């Protein structure tokens, strides 16, 4: 089902006074995973922007399950679906040591071309198709 994985490690400064990863940091992990995924698939935000195409997050829904702590290695995974004009990045983060789910997220993104909401972007539609093939 997941078509991409990225392994990362929690850095001390990402944690709050409780000794766990601050909730806002998870959004950085999710974004970094999406950017690495797109880069691996030869999709560049800079190149798209030069063509008048901007992909942007419209909303994020995160369920926090098991906190990560300093030094924890974790695996960030994703797959992509399409709902109307939105591209939905379904993302999870698992703590590597025990494979416990840390967070589950649904990131909605839209594409704007020359300032107007687009119904599709071929490069993203290809990622959706790959996700669908993987889940079948």
Catalytic (active-site) positions:
16
104 three-class SS: strand
Q: How far apart are CA 97 and CA 79, in angstroms?
A: 23
87: closest CA among 131, 41, 135, 28?
131
CB atoms within 10 A of CB 48: 18
Q: How far apart are CA 12 and CA 33, in angstroms?
A: 19
């Amino acid at each position: 089902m997941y078509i991409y994985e990225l392994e990362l490690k929690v850095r001390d400064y990402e944690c709050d006074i409780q000794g766990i990863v601050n909730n806002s940091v998870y959004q950085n992990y999710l974004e970094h995973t999406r950017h690495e995924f797109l880069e691996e698939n030869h999709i560049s935000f800079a190149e798209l922007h030069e063509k008048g195409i901007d992909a942007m997050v419209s909303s994020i829904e995160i369920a926090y399950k098991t906190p990560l702590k300093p030094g924890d290695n974790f695996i960030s995974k994703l797959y992509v679906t399409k709902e109307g004009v939105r591209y939905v990045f379904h993302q999870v983060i698992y703590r590597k040591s025990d494979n416990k789910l840390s967070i589950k997220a649904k990131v909605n993104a839209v594409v704007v071309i020359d300032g107007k909401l687009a119904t599709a972007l071929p490069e993203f539609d290809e990622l959706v198709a790959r996700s669908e093939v993987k889940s079948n």
